[in-house]
Amino acid sequence: MNPRHLLTVARKELRHVLRDGQTLGIILSLPVVMMFMFGYALKSEIEDARVVVVAPRADDETRAFCAALDRNLQFEVAAVETGGDPATLMVRHRARAVVVLQADMARNREDGPVLFSVLIDGSDPGTATTLRAALPAFIRTQHFARNGIDPVRLIETGPRFLFNPDQKSALFFVPGLMATILAMIGTLLTSVAIVREKETGTRANLQLSDLSASEIVVGKLAPYFLIASGTGVLIMVVGRLAFDVIPQGSLGLLSWTTAIYLVVALSMGLMISTIVEKQQHAMLLALGITMMPTIMLSGFVFPRSSQPAPLQILSYVVPATWYLQIVRGIVLKASTLRDLWIPITVLAGQALLILSLASLRFSREH
């Protein structure tokens, strides 16, 4: 391989990208826009959820309970009622939940349990799941506190989350978006860049030149590798500044494993370019094989364990499945090479396989 030839192709390719302001703008803004979209869409934390309290008598205890509920940042007391149908109340007060205190709180304080029931608006599954855990827990804590029992000691016995104790959604979606966006951008840019030359006829210039097929492949992939790497850095920086995602593990490990993942993405783009003849087809194929499998199958949004067996098997083929394990491991658990050798080996194998197949097909066309 002649470095002068590589530089020629790489410089030409970089010029195309830099001169096409719109594409460049999309490449840079897409990750940021997606991060903020996911940041709010996937948000599992609740804030000021409206709650209706139904208590038979408005005594001091009830008022104290309502005040405490209202003070908590997660909830807001929408109304206090003495009775009525919970469903009607929920709709009338636009509430997410109704808490029905079934007995006189003051009298039951020492002798026997306080009976309460919590009814949750199930029409919004996201909020419902969070409320189901948060609201009863809050009421129990409140009760223990009033009876002089240290709630912390009791709550200790319940399940706790390690690695993401607050269940911050950013810690889920930042690694997931790394996997999704890098695959999309890497595959899309490469396939379109090569197919464009087929479409316009400029490919013949390269074919008739002194350049070898491998020089063209490496020269063409290098700039897109740099651009996709830049996108990866951008995602981590936005994650750090806007969503407080601080990787617990080694950035060096994260960098080189991400480089392997990018080789997979770029090779898929190269492969596509040897199959289709039109930019539009390249674009659709690139998005089709990267976006949906990465979001649906890799375990980014839906747990793989709850997928039917055929899809679980298919998910082993999706590179993002392995990369996601690596990024989540490094970002959340400070995992090391020793913990991650299996997904890293599989990913490297995929990179090698797809790159060789795609290069072979490309040189045959050359």
Partner 1 sequence: MKTPEANSSDLSIRTRALTRRFGTFTAVDGIDIEVRRGEIYGFLGANGAGKTTAMRMLCGLLEPTSGEGEVAGFDILRETSRIRTRIGYMSQKFSLYPDLTLRENLGLSAELYDIPRRQVAERLRDAAHRTGIEPLLDRRTGDLPWGWQQRLSLACATAHHPSILFLDEPTGSVDPLSRREFWDLIRSEASRGTTIFVTTHYMDEAEYCDRVCFLVDGRVADVGTPGELKRRHAAQTLQQVFLDLARKARRS
In the complex, which residues of this chain contact partner 1 (CB under 8 A)?
Answer: 4, 8, 12, 15-16, 19-20, 200-202, 204-211
* Closer residue to partner 1, CB minimum distance, 44 or 202: 202
* Closer residue to partner 1, CB minimum distance, 20 or 244: 20
* Closer residue to partner 1, CB minimum distance, 47 or 210: 210
* Closer residue to partner 1, CB minimum distance, 16 or 63: 16
Token readout for 366 is 């050359």
CB of 18 to partner 1, least distance (A): 10
Dihedrals φ, ψ of 50, to 5°?
-75, 130
Q: Which residues contact 171 (CB under 8 A, 6 or more apart)?
A: 164, 245, 331, 332
* Closer residue to partner 1, CB minimum distance, 41 or 204: 204
Pairing of strands 116-120, 75-81: unpaired
Q: From the centroid of its chain, how far is CA 111?
A: 48
CB of 198 to partner 1, least distance (A): 11
CB of 203 to partner 1, least distance (A): 9
Report the run of H or E that residue 115 belongs to, with start and end.
none
Confirm if 61 and 101 have CB atoms less than 8 A apart. Answer: no
Confirm if 273 and 224 have CB atoms less than 8 A apart. Answer: no
CB of 19 to partner 1, least distance (A): 5
* Closer residue to partner 1, CB minimum distance, 219 or 269: 219
Helix, strand, or coil here: 297? helix
CB of 205 to partner 1, least distance (A): 6
Q: 80 has which bridge partners?
A: 53
CA atoms within 13 A on the CB side of 345: 6
Cα three-residue angle 219-25-201, rounded to 5 degrees = 45
Instruction: Report the alpha-carbon distance of residue 61 to residue 63 in Å, rounded.
Output: 5
CB of 279 to partner 1, least distance (A): 14
* Closer residue to partner 1, CB minimum distance, 4 or 153: 4
Confirm if 65 and 53 have CB atoms less than 8 A apart. Answer: yes
Instruction: Report the alpha-carbon distance of residue 147 to residue 149 in Å, rounded.
Output: 6
CB of 215 to partner 1, least distance (A): 10
Radius of gyration for the chain, computed over Cα atoms and rounded to the nearest angstrom:
28
